[in-house]
């Protein structure tokens, strides 16, 4: 017996956004198309649409974040919602309040949506399982599990440059094992029909079940990057290096850092992506990060449109019973 | 009730009326904006016939609708594109059917988020009964008295056709 996806309502519409895994291609495409509509709002005189006027969105960040939190906040504000930023490491959990108690308190303040970032995998699911029926939860990154809005903004950036997903070779390089970004990207890429997804990294940083995700594993970067249309570099999480999983930053750069000469092995019009924050000279050369093939700052801009799209889709579903159009 | 409305003839009439209106008001370089999707088709035809200099603007009013939480998103509709500065310009806003007036309310709100136009006049291919807001068209193709159960729909873009349907 298959349990119904907690992310979907009875009519199959997005109710929460927790993970890409299990979502159908049409939902991902709807998110991309809706984001396309929102992408012009930021360039206008008044950078705001009244769609979510009167809604209250709480950003619950249990883990530090600059890009993700600010782009969620900007997205909510551009939709005219009211935003509450709660930095939990400095809040009541230090006073011993349980997650569930915190949730009930926020519900009592009539919030309509929670954006949750947490260092434990499954945190956003936990919230989604326990919230009142009218509240939506968006995963802003949970442990090493998923970061679905990041993956969707990456898909949006790829589509803007490459149009047809079904003809692409995409290489993801770095610490795949600990990366919620990579995991969500792999699900998104395969769902959107990308025929060749490669993951490149040292054996210690590639998950054992990688092949089961429908990707090809490479340990030699020069081989893996060859003829790629899209090269996605991941941040080397320096905090992991103490765990003896890696030699040194210098050594890492030599083997898995994206240098101009390695980039030349990819297609001449390949784009270079990175979810940020970048470690210059560790996973990517400065000249590549700032070079003509880099779309890293576009990714940041696109993050706002994607987050606007997801927020408006989950809060603007309409009633559960089919309304007459 | 006219079964077959000649859209072509309506567009000719609207073009002539628009010319007169622009002349009376002393406007020589107006901007034209069509509302997605049907309004853009009508606007394309009028833009062509009037031989306007500026490119045609297109408005997707989804984000300004007052019934958003009831009907949700329609990502299929093309995004808004106003390839000009609306500040201090005279604008001709075009839609296919003026019914409740809510679409025009939303469109005006969106235009004002791009800037402050000098004036806006409204041109509608069909003006039907059922207004719920104090909004009226300046340039009218055809006026129709319809019941709540009757719907008028424009299909296109080539050829443009108007049909009246009855719901149960």
Q: Which domains does chain A have, with CATH numbers?
A: 3-146+301-324 (3.40.50.1370), 148-296 (3.40.50.1370)
- Is residue B32 a part of any domain in this protein? yes
Band (pLDDT 50/70/90 cuts) for residue A323 is: very low
The string of pLDDT tens digits covering residues A292-322 is: 999 999 999 999 999 999 999 999 877 665 4
Q: Domain containing B12 — which CATH number?
A: 3.40.50.2020
Asked, for residue B96, whether it belongs to a domain, the answer is yes
- Where does chain A show beta strands of DSSP type E? 56-61, 82-87, 113-118, 136-142, 169-173, 196-200, 216-218, 230-233, 271-273
| Stretch A249-262: mean pLDDT | 92
Residue B11: inside a domain: yes
Which of A87, A92, A85, A83 lies closest to A62 in space, CA to CA? A87
How do A113-118 and A136-142 pair as beta strands? parallel
Local confidence band at B63 (pLDDT 50, 70, 90 cut-offs): confident
Q: What is the pTM of this model?
A: 0.87
The total of other beta-carbon atoms located within 10 Å of residue B40's CB is: 24
Locate the chain B residue with the closest alpha carbon to A27.
B75
Please list the residues that pair with A136 across neighbouring strands: A113
In a domain, B2, yes or no: no
Is B27 within the bounds of a domain? yes
Residue B113: closest CA among chain A residues belongs to which residue? A46
- What is the rounded CA–CA span in Å between residue A59 and residue A56? 10
Lowest-pLDDT choice from A163-172, B74-83, B123-132 = B74-83
- The ipTM estimated for the assembled molecules is 0.73
Chain B residues with CB inside 8 Å of A36's CB?
A: 75, 79
In chain B, which residue's Cα lies nearest the Cα of A80?
A: B63
Q: Which of A315, A8, A321, A10 shows the shortest CA–CA distance to A134?
A: A315
Count of the separate structural domains present in chain B: 1
In this prediction, residue A2 carries a pLDDT of 45
Task: Answer yes or no: is B73 within a domain.
Answer: no
Tell me if B73 and A323 make a contact (CB, 8 A cut-off).
Answer: no
Q: Residue B71: which of A38, A48, A323 has the nearest Cβ?
A: A323
Q: Is B69 on the interface with A (CB under 8 A)?
A: yes
- Structure token pair of residue A162: 């490459």
B16 domain residue, yes or no: yes
Does residue B79 lie within any of the structural domains? no
**pLDDT (0 to 100) of residue A242:** 62
Average pLDDT, chain A: 90
Residues of B (15-44) whose Cβ lies below 8 Å from A? none
Residue B17, domain extent: 7-66+85-166
With an 8 Å Cβ cutoff, are B70 and A313 in contact?
A: no
């Amino acid at each position: 017996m298959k349990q119904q996806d907690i992310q979907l309502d009875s009519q199959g519409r997005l109710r929460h956004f927790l993970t890409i895994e299990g979502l159908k291609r049409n939902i991902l495409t709807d998110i991309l198309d809706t984001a396309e509509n929102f992408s012009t709002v930021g360039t206008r005189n008044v950078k705001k649409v009244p769609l979510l006027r009167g809604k209250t969105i709480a950003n619950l960040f249990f883990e530090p974040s600059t890009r993700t939190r600010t782009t969620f906040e900007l997205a909510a504000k551009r939709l005219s919602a009211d935003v509450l930023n709660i930095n939990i490491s400095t809040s009541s959990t230090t006073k011993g309040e349980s997650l569930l108690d915190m949730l009930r308190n926020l519900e009592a303040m009539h919030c309509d949506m929670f954006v949750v970032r947490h260092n434990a995998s499954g945190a956003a699911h936990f919230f989604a399982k326990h919230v009142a029926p009218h509240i939506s939860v968006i995963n802003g990154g949970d442990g090493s599990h998923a970061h679905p809005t990041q993956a969707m903004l990456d898909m949006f950036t790829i589509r803007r440059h490459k149009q047809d997903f079904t003809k692409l070779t995409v290489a993801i390089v770095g610490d795949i094992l600990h990366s919620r970004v990579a995991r969500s990207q792999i699900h998104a890429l395969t769902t959107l029909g990308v025929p060749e997804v490669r993951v490149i990294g040292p054996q210690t940083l590639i998950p054992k079940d990688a092949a089961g995700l429908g990707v090809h594993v490479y340990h030699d970067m020069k081989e893996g990057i060859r003829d790629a249309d899209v090269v996605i570099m991941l941040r080397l999480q320096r905090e992991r290096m103490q765990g003896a999983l890696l030699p040194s930053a210098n050594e890492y750069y030599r083997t898995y850092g994206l240098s101009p000469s390695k980039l030349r092995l990819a297609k001449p019009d390949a784009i270079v992506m990175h979810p940020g924050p970048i470690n210059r000279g560790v996973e990517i050369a400065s000249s590549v990060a700032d070079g003509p093939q880099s779309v890293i700052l576009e990714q940041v801009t696109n993050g706002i449109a994607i987050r606007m799209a997801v927020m408006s889709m989950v809060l603007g579903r309409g009633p559960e019973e089919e309304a007459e159009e | 009730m006219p079964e077959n409305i000649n859209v072509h003839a309506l567009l000719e009439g609207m073009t002539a009326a628009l010319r007169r209106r622009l002349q009376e008001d002393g406007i020589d370089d107006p901007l034209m904006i069509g509302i997605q999707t049907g309004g853009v088709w009508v606007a394309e035809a009028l833009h062509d016939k009037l031989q306007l200099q500026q490119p045609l603007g297109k408005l997707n009013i989804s984000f300004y609708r007052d019934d958003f939480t009831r009907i949700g998103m329609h990502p299929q509709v093309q995004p808004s594109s106003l390839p000009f500065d609306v500040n201090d310009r005279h604008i001709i806003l075009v839609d296919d059917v003026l019914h409740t007036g809510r679409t025009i309310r939303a469109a005006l709100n969106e235009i004002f988020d791009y800037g402050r136009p000098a004036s806006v006049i409204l041109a509608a291919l069909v003006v039907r009964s059922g207004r719920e807001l104090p909004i009226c068209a300046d340039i009218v193709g055809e006026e129709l008295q319809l019941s709540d159960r009757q719907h008028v729909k424009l299909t296109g873009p080539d050829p443009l056709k108007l049909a009246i349907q009855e719901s149960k």
